[in-house]
Amino acid sequence: MSKTHEIKVTKRELQRKGASRRLRHAGVIPAIVYGGNAEPVAISLDHNEIWLAQQNEWFYSSILALNLDGQVQKVLLRDLQRHPYKQLIMHLDFQRVNENEALTASVPLHFINEDTSPAGKAADVVVTHELKEVTITCLPKDLPESIEVDLAELNAGDIVYLSNIKLPKGVEIPALALGKDHDDAIVTAKHGKEDVADAEEAPAAE
């Protein structure tokens, strides 16, 4: 289960783009909270605090508690807009979380024991992480900040699929319910020389 992180916010009136620009110049990020049975609410957040927070994985995959004058609303980050070249966050979208309803979220995959695995210790084997995150469904109380994938037994030629992930209790991968075609590879271990050999044996294009 992920930890709930609290962030202080301020309510603001919905205004034109010029007002949002003035907020950014003042070191404040405009944002919106939507979803659930309530109307959307416009809020603002301290840019420096959010800039530091968004450098952590938990900011994208954890339940966030927005504290508005002592009233806490639990949400998930759904969109973050950055300036194309400045170190500046332009806007944030948050979705309200219902403790009794399953949610869908993307969480990072953490690969462990790769270096000590047979494939990891072999000089001629290339281990590739095909996916860095996975989309899951679960109740908010079961949302993990990340999911570990143990590669201790990884051998040359092995392929690790979504269905091989050991999921925390209460967590599911919705893609797996769609059939084998959606059971994507997340890790492959191949001999580095294989690609070269295949390229040499392949007939030249006419």
Confidence (pTM): 0.79
Tell me if 158 sits within 8 A of 132, measured CB to CB. Answer: no
The arithmetic mean of pLDDT across residues 72-82, rounded, is 94
Tokens matching residue 106 = 């993307």
pLDDT digits (tens, 9 = 90+) for 146-186: 999 999 999 999 999 999 999 999 999 999 999 999 999 99
pLDDT digits (tens, 9 = 90+) for 181-198: 999 999 999 987 655 445
pLDDT-derived band of residue 2, with 50, 70 and 90 as boundaries? Answer: low
The arithmetic mean of pLDDT across residues 9-18, rounded, is 72
pLDDT-derived band of residue 205, with 50, 70 and 90 as boundaries? Answer: very low
What distances in angstroms separate CA 84 from CA 24, 53, 178, one per listed residue?
Answer: 15, 19, 36
Q: Specify the pLDDT at position 169.
A: 94
Tell me if 120 sits within 8 A of 147, measured CB to CB. Answer: no
Tell me if 156 sits within 8 A of 190, measured CB to CB. Answer: yes
What distances in angstroms separate CA 58 from CA 63, 143, 190, one per listed residue?
Answer: 8, 11, 32
Tokens matching residue 44 = 């603002």
